[in-house]
Amino acid sequence: MAPFKSIGAVELSSIGVGYQVQDEMLKAASVRLLVARTICSGKYFIVIGGAVSDVQSSVSSALAGAGEALIDHLVIPNVHPSVFTALGQSVILAAGEAQALGVIESFSGVSIIAAADAAAKAAKVKLFRIHVAMALGGKGFCLMTGMVADVRAAVQAGANEVRNRGLLVSEVVIPRPSPELFNEYI
């Protein structure tokens, strides 16, 4: 999706403030807007990519302008490249590729991006979906596949990232998943 080194995300409780903060973020530094939209339960979600210093400056401007509307934020300086493709839902799985399915579910969009990055860095897995808050009541989830041991390690690392934020809903590893679980990806 992009050769960015860094990703930043901001989750806000106000749609109006979300548009204002998005404008401030884009004017603050040379970043690329990856996601900007309303999400369930009346929130606004912004994800940007770019050089580390630009993303840090952009997110800092968001924090300065968000006030009480700020729910959560993050900057990941050396984001795993697979986070971008999974967030863009542009990953294709080959038939029979999945030996295990890993799922991490959180109460926020920002925390699921942090979980996906931690999971991808922890073990050899293929992130194939990061879903943020659309038709989920504000939750987020990420899906990954690989060898069972790798998926277990990745899910544990990602879930710990969300657990430390107090936002973990579930962490699941399914060995030898039914092929039907992947119908929309194969």
In the prediction, which pLDDT does 186 show?
A: 46
Say what the pTM is.
0.89
Residue 1 has a pLDDT of 43
Q: Of 21-30, 88-97, 125-134, which one has max mean pLDDT?
A: 21-30
Lowest-confidence segment of 21-35, 70-84, 94-108 by average pLDDT: 94-108
**What average pLDDT does range 65-80 have in this prediction?**
94
47 token code pair: 């994800």
Q: What is the pLDDT of residues 14-24, one digit of tens each?
A: 999 999 999 99
For residues 148-152, give the mean pLDDT: 96
Residue found by looking up tokens 């990232």 in the block: 161
Does the structure show a pLDDT above 90 at 137? no
Which strands form 43-50's sheet, in the order they lie side by side? 32-39, 43-50, 6-12, 70-76
pLDDT at 2 over 60: no
Burial class from Cβ neighbours inside 10 Å (0-12, 13-18, 19+) for residue 43 reads buried
- The owner of tokens 């504000």 is 138
Q: Phi, psi (5° rounding) for residue 13? A: -85, -5
Res 139 pLDDT > 70: yes
Tell which phi-psi region holds residue 166, choosing left (phi > 0), alpha (psi between -120 and 50) or beta: left
User: Contact, 155 vs 171, CB < 8 A?
Assistant: yes
> What's the angle, vertex CA 107, arms to CA 152 and CA 119, rounded to 5?
25
